[in-house]
Amino acid sequence: MRAFGDRWWSRLRYRPARGANLVERAALVSGNAVVGWYNGVCTRTLQVSGLKGGTQVSTRRGTALVTGASSGIGAAYAERLAAQGWDTVLVARRAQRLDDLARRLREKTGTTAETLVADLSVPDDLARVVSRAAGDDIGFLLNNAGINGYGPFAELEPDLLAKVLHINVLAVTALTRAAVPGMLARGDGTVVNVASQLAFAGSLPPHPLPERAVYGGTKGYVVTFTRTLAAELAATPLRIQVLCPGLTATEFHRSRGREPVPGGDQAVHVEGGMPVGQVVDASLTALDGDRVVCVPGLDEPALIDGLAEAEVAIRAAARRGAS
Ligand SMILES: NC(=O)c1ccc[n+]([C@@H]2O[C@H](COP(=O)([O-])OP(=O)(O)OC[C@H]3O[C@@H](n4cnc5c(N)ncnc54)[C@H](OP(=O)(O)O)[C@@H]3O)[C@@H](O)[C@H]2O)c1
C-alpha cells in the first residue's frame, strides 16, 4: 500500500472524492492500475500508462449514463466525457444515431460505449434504464433528455402533456433515485440534471418566448429538485448540478417531442443559439468549481446567489408576518 500526496493525485489528473483526507486517499499501485479508496470503499480504477514519463495517463473513470445522447447537448456531453476517459451508456429512442455515436466514441477514445434504446415516457423502457442507472459502475449521470410540448395551454393535447411530465420530471427523478444510493455507498459520483433558463421565466409572457407553461413548470421542478437535493447531499462527496441553458443550437425546436426528429444526421433548429460545446464547457467548469446552478453565458454568479438570498428573505419575512 502506498499513499500519494496531492501532488501525485494532480499528476494523475485524478479527482479524489470531495472531503477525503490524505489517509482516506491511500492508493494501491499494482501493475498498471491505481485504485483509489474513500473511507475504505474502492472508488475508481485508473489504467495508467507511461508513468515513467509522469504525465501519460489514460484514465478509466467509471461509467457515465447519458440520456438524450442521440443529438444536441447530450451527444456533445457524451463525446466530452468519453474523451475524459468515461465509459458511456447512451440512452435515447433513435437506435441508429446511438449506434453511430457509440462507434465514434470507441474509435476515438478507446472507451466502452453501450447503447440503450428506450422511450423514457414508456414505463417498461424507463424501468430498464433505471436498472442500468443503479449499476455499481455508474459514476456520472447526465439527465439530459427533454421535450418541449410547447403550445397554448388550453389546446395542449393531454397525451403530449403527460409525455412532457414523464420525460422531463418523472424520468429525471427516477434515474437520480436509482443512481444516488450507489454513489453514496462508493463515496463518489456526479449528477447533472438539464433544466432551462425558461425555469426562470415564469413572469414573462410568450412572444418572443414560446408558450410553455408545462415545459417551464417541468424545468422549474428540475431546478428546485436539484438544488434541494444538492443541499441535502452537501456534506457528501457527491457533485450535484442543475444546468440551465438558454437557447442552444440543437434540434430541440424541430419537434414538440412526441416523435423523434427524422434523419440520420444532426440538424439545428432555425432559431440557432449557443453552440453545444459552450454549454458543455460551462457545465464542466461549474462542476470543477462545485457550483450547483450552472447558467451558461451568465457572467455574474452573484445573480444566482441573489436567488438564494431572496428565498431566505421571503421565508423569513413570511415567518415574521405569521407570528
Ligand atoms: N436547445 C435549447 O434551446 C434548450 C434550451 C434549454 C434547455 N434545453 C434542454 O436541453 C436538453 C437537451 O435538449 P437539446 O437541446 O439537446 O435538444 P435535442 O437535440 O432535441 O435533444 C433531445 C434529446 O432527448 C431525447 N429524447 C426526447 N424524447 C425522448 C424520449 N421519449 N425518450 C428518450 N429520449 C428522448 C432525444 O432523443 P430521441 O429523439 O432519439 O429519443 C434527444 O437525444 C433538454 O432537456 C432540453 O429541455 C434545450
Nearest Cα to 44, choosing from 63, 22, 18? 63
Q: What are the grid coordinates assigned to 43, written together?
A: 472508488
Range in 49-58, 110-119, 244-253 the model is least confident about: 49-58
Question: What CATH topology corresponds to 63-308?
Answer: Rossmann fold (3.40.50)
> Which atom of ligand 1 is least distant from the CA of 166?
31
What are the backbone dihedrals phi and psi of residue 26, each rounded to the nearest 5 degrees, phi first? Answer: -50, 140
Identify the helix (H) or strand (E) that includes residue 140: strand 138-143
Nearest CA to ligand 1 atom 25: 68
Amino acid occupying residue 110: G
Measured at the CA of 31, the angle between CA 84 and CA 189, to 5 degrees, comes to 35
pLDDT the model gives residue 301: 84
Q: Is 38 considered catalytic here?
A: no
The answer to whether the CB of 70 is under 6 A from ligand 1 is yes
Cβ within 8 Å of residue 116, ≥6 positions away: 89, 90, 91, 98, 128, 129, 132
Using DSSP, state whether 7 is helix, strand or coil: helix
- Separation of 260 CA from ligand 1 center, angstroms? 9
Range in 41-45, 97-101, 155-159, 172-176 the model is least confident about: 41-45
Give me the DSSP letters along 160-222.
Answer: HHHHHHIIIIIHHHHHHHHHHHHHHHHT--EEEEE--GGGG-TTSPSSSSPP-HHHHHHHHHH
Nearest CA to ligand 1 atom 16: 72
Domain map (residue ranges) of the chain? 6-53, 63-308
Strands 113-117 vs 138-143: parallel, antiparallel or unpaired? unpaired
Using DSSP, state whether 301 is helix, strand or coil: coil
Q: What is the pTM for the complete model shown?
A: 0.85
Share of the chain above pLDDT 70, in %: 82
* Average pLDDT, integer, range 175-187: 98
Beta carbons within 10 angstroms of residue 156's beta carbon = 18
Nearest Cα to 61, choosing from 153, 137, 159, 7? 137
Nearest Cα to 140, choosing from 172, 90, 179, 184? 179
* Average pLDDT, integer, range 7-32: 32
The answer to whether the CB of 296 is under 6 A from ligand 1 is no
* Average pLDDT, integer, range 133-148: 98
pLDDT the model gives residue 40: 29
Report the distance separating Cα 239 and Cα 193, nearest Å. 11
Among 117, 141, 147, residue to substitute to test ligand 1 (most atoms within 8 Å of Cβ)? 147
Give the residue ranges of DSSP H helices in the chain: 6-11, 72-83, 95-109, 123-133, 158-165, 171-186, 213-232, 276-288, 302-322
Residues 34-57: pLDDT tens digits?
A: 333 333 233 333 333 333 333 333
Identify the helix (H) or strand (E) that includes residue 243: strand 239-243
Residues 192-206: pLDDT tens digits?
A: 999 999 999 999 999
The answer to whether the CB of 212 is under 6 A from ligand 1 is no
Residue 59's pLDDT band, with cuts at 50, 70 and 90, is low
pLDDT the model gives residue 60: 74
Whose grid coordinates read 437520480?
176
- Whether residue 186 has pLDDT greater than 70: yes
